[in-house]
Structure 1
Amino acid sequence: MFSPSAHPEKEVPFCLPPLPLSEQEPAKFEVPPGACDTHAHVVADDPIAYPMVSSRTYTPHPATESSYLAMLDTNGMSRGVLVQISVYGTDNRYMLEVLRRHPDRLRGIGVVDPSVTDKELEAMHEAGVRGLRINVLFGGGIGFDAMETLAHRIKDLGWHMQFLMDARQLPELLPRMRKLPVPGVIDHMGHMPVSEGLQSPGFQAMVHMVQDHGWWVKLSGAYRISDQFDHYSDVIPWAQALIAAAPDRMVWGSDWLHVHINPMVNTGKLRNQLAEWAPDEDMRHRILVTNPQTLYGFPTF
């Protein structure tokens, strides 16, 4: 069983658990068949078999395979993309095990050290991994120093690089990122405060990369960039501007199990925000179904 005693690092804070599925807000629009939640995490309930790294920023509650799949079902999602959670560092085992059991429904984003072997990458591809994550915001991640090496390692696999970063860092990184041999995906709409404004250098750099370099943005994590709880109306212009800039480069994600935040958010309510960001049904279908099929290599639904 999971318990604080299994984690002796007292200074690592515990996260709030996600809300029960029975409390999720019902859908306010018709979620189309084939819809994909492109950003969530799984956490095993056995911390001995799947130990967390001591350098982690937080300690999450378990988010097992069954609870994750139930979350997808509750929110009307036919498909999902698992992102290797930072607390496991480069130990992708649990995520890969879940992916292998659901090859038609799930894809994954891994975290690896540049010393990873070609054989390991090929095995991850077979399991359903389609990208690698650079994470400079939470302990346990792989940073910018590795991005060129990793990008060249994965280009023949058809993968992409995913970036958990503050988009205010983008302008100084653009010379390097433009040269990467694979596309990039920016987490959580840039993970920068929307109060910076649509004309800020960070936001404009995001627009540049999706319009001119074939990058992607995840319409996720509104609660991480907003000054408001829990409607996040200040995020509406931000999300709509991104969609208008590159509608074929937008995907949606719940960011379940919503780690390292307080108070806890309602996953169903987060999904329902998409109706405000993309009032047009065809546009929502593109964001939820068509675009993820392209990015993650799902079969046409």
Structure 2
Amino acid sequence: MKVIDIHAHVYEKVAGITRGKPMSSTVLGRVSIGNEQVQFLPPAFEKSRSTTEMLIAYMDWCGIEKAILMPNPYYGYHNQYFVRSVQQYPDRLRGVALVDIMEGQLAAEKLAAIYDEGILFGFKVEVDSTFQCAPGTRLTDARLAPVWDCCNQYHQPVFLHMFRTQDIADVRYLASSYPDIMFVLCHMGADACFGKGMPADNYREVLSIVKDADNIYMDTSTVPVYFEEEYPWPAAVNIIEESYRHVGPEKLMWASDYPGMLNHGTMKQLIHLVGKQCVNIPVSHRRMIMSENAQRLFFSNYK
């Protein structure tokens, strides 16, 4: 079964922000958050970085044909590293662009310049780290509209990691208002659905909007973390199979969330989560989720 990963992170060093504090690489998988040292990756990541060469080695080892490099302010802004990575491995990698959406019109101009260059594509918003300095910001705030206008004009996909209940309503509005943007909801709805204290109705609402909107999709990564369970991750299997029953195979795409998910399982186990453990999804539909949808949406249409 072919495998395409639509959510993998690479960075020469961590240079991001979390909990309102700067985060940076140290050694042996650790990072500093302010004055605190935390274990961020397995200790085998000696310099606490995730290089493109390491990702390619994992892909070769585990049979992953292609991957999308996914940015996040949590790790820092690494557009130029993504550009070099895609240029080095043009047949295997695509890279998603990242700008500071809080810059509004200036962010849109930066995105347009990136799209005109023709190497990176798409846009990523991870709500928590993006809005840390302005936590009341909504995805639908007027000052952010130039970025959505740009993505819509260029027919570029947007990858969203939601954290709050209001993000769900905002996604419904954005998908309706910007029909030429493909929205991919990372981690099956992520913290907005599975975070502690979140209403159960949130997940059902996400399934409803994915089913109803032609331009909303989901990636399957990271769900085991929310349930704090060990492989073979039965709760995550149930979530993915339930999503499949509600939205169909066309709306789901496999993703690893490499390298952070290596804290919770091996790359082959991450592949097996859908490829082998989701036995109630027919094999032909698992193929769609594991590679065919991503090939059609990201490695054929976008140039």
Q: Structure 1-normalised TM-score?
A: 0.74
Aligned Cα root-mean-square deviation (Å): 3.2
Letter of the aligned partner of 1:98 in structure 2? S
Instruction: Choose the corresponding residue for 1:75, options 45, 59, 62.
Output: 62
For 2:183 and 2:129, the matched residues in 1 are separated by 19
Contact 2:6–2:68 (Cα < 8 Å) also in 1: yes
Instruction: Choose the corresponding residue for 1:283, options 269, 273, 285.
Output: 285
For 1:102 and 1:293, the matched residues in 2 are separated by 16
Q: 1:168 to 1:118 in 2, by over 3 A?
A: closer
**Shift of residue 160 of structure 1?**
1.4
Per-residue CA distance 1:276-298 (angstroms, 9 max, x = gap): 22542211211122210232143
Instruction: Choose the corresponding residue for 1:98, options 82, 85, 89.
Output: 85
Structure 2: 5+ residue runs without aligned partners? Answer: 25-30, 32-39, 41-47
Q: 1:159 to 1:120 in 2, by over 3 A?
A: closer
Bigger strand fraction: 2
Q: 1:129 to 1:242 in 2, by over 3 A?
A: farther
Aligned to 1:203: 203
**Shift of residue 208 of structure 1?**
2.1
Instruction: Tell me which moved more, 65-74 or 149-158.
Output: 149-158
1:121 maps to 2:112 = yes
Contact 1:168–1:201 (Cα < 8 Å) also in 2: no
Aligned to 1:162: 159
Q: Structure 2-normalised TM-score?
A: 0.74
Q: 1:78 to 1:195 in 2, by over 3 A?
A: same
For 1:88 and 1:195, the matched residues in 2 are separated by 21
Contact 1:216–1:250 (Cα < 8 Å) also in 2: yes
Which structure is richer in relative contact order (CA contacts within 8 A, separation 6 or more)?
A: 1
For 1:196 and 1:119, the matched residues in 2 are separated by 36
Q: 1:119 to 1:213 in 2, by over 3 A?
A: same
Contact 1:183–1:213 (Cα < 8 Å) also in 2: no
Equivalence map 1:159-198=2 (5 Å): 159-166=156-163, 168-174=165-171, 176-177=173-174, 178-181=176-179, 182-192=181-191, 194=194
Give SS of 1:116's match.
Answer: helix
Letter of the aligned partner of 2:71 in structure 1? Q
Aligned to 2:258: 256
Instruction: Tell me which moved more, 221-230 or 266-275.
Output: 221-230
Contact 1:210–1:246 (Cα < 8 Å) also in 2: no
